[in-house]
Amino acid sequence: MQPQLVFLLLFLGILHGTCGLYFNMREKEQKCFIQTTPDDMDVLVQYAIEVEDPSTGGSWEPASPGLGMHVDVRDSMDKVVLSRVYRSKGLLKFTTHWPGDHRICLQPNSSAWFEGALLRVHLNIETGERSVNYERIRKTNNMDIMQLRVLQLINQAEDISRNQNYQRFVEKQFLRSTDNIYFNIICFSVAQIVILVLLWAFQYHMLFRQPSLYLAYCEILCESGLSRFRTPEAFRTLITIVGANGQGLTTQALAQWISQFKDAETTDEQLQQLVNDKVRVKVEEFVGKFLTKPAPQIPQNVKGSFYASNVQLTKLLSSERRNRSVHLKDDSFLLICECEDCKAESNTVDTQS
């Protein structure tokens, strides 16, 4: 058990000390990587190209200086941060100016010698304090180990502060996106409600577009002195008196209805009588216009008498079929027309005979 644990610790130590990655690609092929960094952060990109040698059974050899690498770096706003051609092995460093995802794209440049060859690219990306070369700083500034350690701690604290600011920035973006989603949901719900209300109003208008009987009644009795007769109670009482076909409107019933809603404070009998007459006229106008069914009009033409006779004959036939007497058998009837034309024709026949 103990040797396995020691082996695991050694393997983890090797993984911890190992940095970077490698990948295979063809010439003119482009591969991109996304690096999320805060603003004002140093990013160090180190790469090296190897070329496959088919003659040695697929071994990899360092690329010649004739093969280069085009490096294109864009920030989260799709603005170009860096774009140039480097050699087959290079080390480049840039500083971010906007937080977010930075896209690092690598593409080998064209070469007739290595055209179509398989390439292996070793890539290592370091950000923040890890991109600082402390050994060179120590030699350049003649710093001891303690000073170098203090500088490293300061850089690490600055990295922590930048990362915290970036997390706040991401949180604000998330809250803004959430608010936008909620706002769109609310707008969509309100739009649905408005559409439903409009559809309901349209259907109501199409189904019940005839004017209200009570509104027509109020329009006829629109004078200021008749306000007590425009109440819903007075309208319901009048409809009860009149009936559905207007047959219940009599002088006595109308007088009782007027007296029921008369003004008790008015002592002038002449003024009260004028108001009663006016109300009577208005009510008769309302009943005649909206509650009384018009009688069927007989067309006034040359054959008007024949039309009236046909109407009378039809009524007679229908009544006789309902109340058939004993002396009427089968469907035989004796019909006598009383119109002027038939009488004249009958007189002419009698004279000729």
Any idea where the domains of the chain sit in the sequence?
A: 18-131, 132-209, 213-291
Tens of pLDDT, residue by residue over 214-256, are 788 888 888 877 888 888 888 888 888 776 444 556 778 888 8
- What pLDDT, on a 0 to 100 scale, did the predictor assign at position 171? 92
Match 């010649």 to its residue by tokens: 64
Q: Considering only 10-14, 68-72, 73-77, 285-289, which range has the smallest mean pLDDT? A: 10-14
Please determine, for residue 312, whether its predicted confidence score (pLDDT) is greater than 80. Answer: no
Q: Which residues contact 136 (CB under 8 A, 6 or more apart)?
A: none
Q: Assign 246 to helix, strand or coil.
A: coil
Domain 18-131: CATH superfamily, name plus number? GOLD domain (2.60.120.680)
Q: Which residues contact 84 (CB under 8 A, 6 or more apart)?
A: 70, 71
CA 8, 11, 16, 20 torsion-angle sign: negative
From CA 95, how far away is CA 115, in angstroms rounded?
A: 34
- What pLDDT, on a 0 to 100 scale, did the predictor assign at position 305? 47
Q: Which residues contact 100 (CB under 8 A, 6 or more apart)?
A: 36, 37, 75, 76, 77
Q: What are the structure tokens assigned to 218, written together? A: 């109020």
Q: Assign 249 to helix, strand or coil.
A: coil
Q: Which of 262, 292, 286 is nearest to 214 (CA)?
A: 286
Please determine, for residue 170, whether its predicted confidence score (pLDDT) is greater than 80. Answer: yes
What letter represents residue 8's amino acid?
A: L
Burial 49-88 (b: 16+ CB within 10 A, else e): bbbeeeeeeeebeebeeebbbbbbbbbbeeeebeeeebbb
Tens of pLDDT, residue by residue over 98-151, are 888 899 999 988 655 555 678 889 999 988 877 788 888 888 888 888 888 888
